[in-house]
A and B are shown apart, each in its own frame.
Chain A
């Protein structure tokens, strides 16, 4: 009755592209969960806009991954018919929304990285990836600006908002290291000029994060033990629940369109 999962031949370029697609889809899905639930109507729209930006990025990356793989898969199959262990997103992206401060800190950490990363990827020797990066960079730049403004207002706001923002930073910190990690598969693409080296971006990322946190009277944790696993399919218990909702329609009615 339910549609079976597809198999994907993960050459380094396919794997690389899927990782970016999965980051965008999963984080975008999380943001979309706020639709109708945000603290105010204006922010409901802002979160949905960011969700749609990320969904758009995911679609272009999935389409490119399918083209590179050349096995008859497409964006829908890659999104709807892969199992949890086949997903390659950052753990940071799949963590539940928590409260508004938690969602904003997660967005802030990711966008501060994504903005630098897409800017670096605009010089990729792969023309398609460079073009997707150029489009994504403008979107991430706004996500960074919007989330930064909220971090400052939450951190330097009321006693309650400060406590919640600081708690979110403390809880999410250990999930930031995965953004800068590189495995052998990706190392080859970096050496070939196709992928940017995320590790080289960490000082600039830390500079942005530190400046905003300081203005927000928030403190960045000193510990540097980092949680990893999402890039190789070892996910938290949360992703399965997210996918069961995201995929339920295509799994139950394979190929359904409307």
Chain B
């Protein structure tokens, strides 16, 4: 239950060394310490994580879904930006 005393936090988990933290969900907690413990209790019950970040949801600046046309459509027609037009020499092997 959301109350003014328990703001929303976003949770990021790193599952293995060398991988990046990935967003996995959100939760309510009174402060950063309790948010970290709640994240551990909710999102790592099945051995999912080696490291947790919690971030106040209010600290995130998000793009506006209403602007997705302006923001993302221009990139859709630029297929030449994908590195799929090169012949990879045999000696390079698997990339």
Residues in A lying within 8 Å of B, measured CB to CB: 40-43, 45-46, 49, 142, 145-146, 149, 153
Contacts and interface: CB of A to CB of B under 8 A. Distances in A.
Contacts of A149: 33-34, 37
A142 B1 CA distance: 24
Contacts of B34: 149, 153
Contacts of A43: 38
Interface string B26-59: 0111100110011011100100000000000000
Contacts of B1: 40-41
Contact of B6 (A40, A142, A145, A146): A40
A49 B30 contact: no
Nearest to B44: A49
Given A41-B1, A149-B33, A49 B41 contact: yes
The number of chain B residues touching the other chain, given as a range, is 10 to 19
A149 B41 CA distance: 14
Given A42-B38, A149-B33, A153-B30, 16 more contacts: A40-B28, A41-B28, A42-B27, A42-B28, A42-B29, A42-B41, A43-B38, A45-B38, A45-B41, A45-B42, A45-B45, A46-B41, A49-B45, A142-B40, A146-B37, A149-B34
Nearest to A50: B41
Contacts of A145: 37
Nearest to A146: B37
A157 to B, nearest CB: 9
15 contacts: A40-B6, A41-B1, A41-B28, A42-B27, A42-B28, A42-B38, A42-B41, A42-B42, A43-B38, A45-B42, A45-B45, A46-B38, A46-B41, A49-B45, A149-B34
A221 B38 CA distance: 31
Interface in B48-92: none
B8 to A, nearest CB: 11
B42 to A, nearest CB: 5
A244 B64 CA distance: 57
A142 B33 CA distance: 13
A49 B40 CA distance: 10
A-B residue pairs, 4 tightest by C-beta: A42-B38, A46-B41, A45-B41, A45-B42
A89 to B, nearest CB: 25
Contacts of B40: 142
Nearest to B29: A42
A42 B2 CA distance: 11
Contacts of A41: 1, 28
A40 B29 CA distance: 9
Nearest to A145: B37
A101 to B, nearest CB: 15
A45 B42 CA distance: 6
A38 to B, nearest CB: 11
A52 to B, nearest CB: 9
Nearest to A152: B33
Nearest to A48: B41
B11 to A, nearest CB: 11
Nearest to A39: B1
